[in-house]
Amino acid sequence: MSQDTHSVKPWGGRFSEATDAFVERFTASVEFDQRLYHHDINGSIAHATMLAAVGVLTDDEKSTIIDGLNAIREDIAAGKFNWSVSLEDVHMNVEAELTNRIGITGKKLHTGRSRNDQVATDIRLYLRDEIDAIGQELTRLQQGLVTLADNNADTIMPGFTHLQTAQPVTFGHHLLAWNEMLERDYQRLMDCRKRVNQSPLGAAALAGTTYPIDRELTAKLLGFEAPTRNSLDSVSDRDFAIEFCSFAALVMTHLSRASEELVLWTSAQFNFIDLPDRFCTGSSIMPQKKNPDVPELVRGKTGRVNGHLISLLTLMKSQPLAYNKDNQEDKEPLFDAIDTVKDCLRAFADMIPAISPVKESMYESAKRGFSTATDLADYLVRKGIPFRDSHEVVGKSVAYGIEQKKDLSEMSLEELKQFSDVIEEDVFEVLTLEGSVAARDHIGGTAPNQVKAAAAKAKALIEAR
């Protein structure tokens, strides 16, 4: 006699008819949550070990369960496991296969837990590992960035505000600004990890369990810092996923800002840097094109990660305690945010060290746009002229330069003195690009020696992780 579909489900005893075929597909998550299998099995091994320690399972039952789970893990890794939509999710697929292999002992594994605390545990274990992997890629990117900055501590380029030439800076100084953003991102990621690293296992469905479980033991076995403190919150909390996606959105925003500059700098209009061919593509119709596809794509992927953050915030905003089926929708946004951030960081970590600055173009561009005008104003202040008056004097000299098509450094002393008689020969020391960047000789400034010192500090901070 054949068995009804509903009767093979682990929760089918209460139901009198099989699940509708469409509903079965609609409610199943196994197509995307099967990536949790490794962590699901680790959680089950820890749970079985604890159940044996408190006398709920015998040592033989524990060993049989653990051997069966490890065999299933090997089959999944080898692509020899048949996933079933009718079993809904990764947890039931693994448990059903375990029971199929070892018999009734497999049915004892779920004693004292629920899929609610099981999935919460799996996601935290998975995310913790992914955070560590992302942290490594972020570190690798920062190492490449800081090295490139150190090598270009005296490479002069224009600094911009409003995308207009403002003051000369060094390429190294500009790159270290990117590193500051990424350093904050790294600190946020590690701070997020602390809150991820709490064990909900043992909270069961929502109220805990009547079995004499040892939550401290399972937390220790799984490398968690401690068990979570409230069973209701344990199974329904997704703050940690939202917090990660908040980090993800911010680091992607920073990568997007850097991408925008890379795209500009590789253009013929700027010609500040050259990207190796392996990070670019060509045009199907224009043979001369070399398109910076990697930074463009990173810039574009920022939108999807921002969307995942909003998705999770919206998912959680109206949920009553405790667990709700809504929470099945947490995984796809989280998984895609993880994958996207990791791939983008890897692309950047590979690409940044390979950047070749076109120093001559940077230097020539810095000479245009009167980038040393502020230096002239500061010079006049040191000569005793109030800043607002010196601002006006320099403004007039710039207007003259525009009319004569001359940069301030290209004007003669006589031309400059027509705007203020306090200007002397020493003015040319501050009107050169080298003099301008060297004058900003303080912590956070663009003077080459300060850039070298900042790069050394950044490198030491990264190496201390």
- pLDDT (0 to 100) of residue 8: 59
Q: 162, 318, 412, 442: which is the annotated catalytic residue? A: 162
User: At 342, which amino acid appears?
Assistant: K
Q: Give the integer Cα–Cα distance in Å for 433 and 438.
A: 9
Q: For residue 4, what pLDDT is reported?
A: 38
For this structure, is 162 an active site residue?
yes
In terms of Cα–Cα distance, which of 153, 216, 245, 188 is closest to 451? 153
Q: Is 254 a catalytic residue?
A: no
DSSP characters over 103-120: GGGGGGTTTT--HHHHHH
pLDDT at 320: 97
d(CA 83, CA 55): 33
The amino acid sitting at 236 is S
Q: How far apart are the first and last CA of the chain?
A: 63
- Per-residue burial over 384-401, b = 16 or more CB atoms within 10 Å of its CB, e = otherwise: ebeeeebbbbbeebbebb
208: its two tokens:
């805990």
Closest CA to 401 of 376, 436, 429: 376
DSSP, collapsed to helix, strand or coil, labels residue 35 as: helix
DSSP designation for 268? T
CB within 8 Å of 40: residues ≥ 6 apart:
90, 91, 94, 118, 122
pTM: 0.92
CB contact set of 136 (below 8 Å; sequence gap of 6+): none
- Residue 250 in 3-state DSSP? helix
Helix axes 293-316, 331-351, angle to 10 degrees: 160
Q: Hey, what CATH topology would domain 116-202+237-363 get?
A: Fumarase C; Chain A, domain 2 (1.20.200)
Region at 415 (left for phi over 0; alpha for psi -120 to 50; beta for the rest):
alpha
Structure tokens at 140: 């690798």
What is the Cα–Cα distance from 162 to 329, expressed in whole angstroms?
A: 41
**Can you read off the two tokens belonging to residue 417?**
């003195």
Cβ(193)–Cβ(128) under 8 Å?
A: yes
Helix (H, G, I), strand (E, B) or coil at 370: coil
Selected catalytic residue, list 7, 267, 283, 356: 283
- Taking the C-alpha atoms of residue 431 and residue 407, their distance in angstroms, rounded to an integer, is 9
Q: What are phi and psi of 324, to 5 degrees?
A: -135, 155
Per-residue pLDDT of the chain (465 residues; tens, 9 = 90+): 233 333 456 656 666 677 788 888 888 999 999 999 999 999 999 999 999 999 999 999 999 999 999 999 999 999 999 999 999 999 999 999 999 999 999 999 999 999 999 999 999 999 999 999 999 999 999 999 999 999 999 999 999 999 999 999 999 999 999 999 999 999 999 999 999 999 999 999 999 999 999 999 999 999 999 999 999 999 999 999 999 999 999 999 999 999 999 999 999 999 999 998 898 888 778 877 789 999 999 999 999 999 999 999 999 999 999 999 999 999 999 999 999 999 999 999 999 999 999 999 999 999 988 899 999 999 999 999 999 999 999 999 999 999 999 989 899 999 999 999 999 999 998 899 999 999 999 999 999 999 999 999 999 999 999
Domain limits of the chain? 19-111, 116-202+237-363, 373-431
Q: Which pLDDT score, from 0 to 100, does residue 222 have? A: 98
Instruction: Look up residue 10 and give its amino acid.
Output: P
Return the CATH number of 19-111, one of 3.40.50.2300, 1.10.275.10, 3.30.420.280, 3.30.465.10: 1.10.275.10
Level-2 CATH architecture, domain 373-431: Orthogonal Bundle (1.10)
Residue 111: which of 95, 122, 123 has the closest Cα? Answer: 95
* Packed helices 115-151 and 331-351: angle between N→C axes, nearest 10 degrees: 20
**pLDDT reported for residue 369:** 83
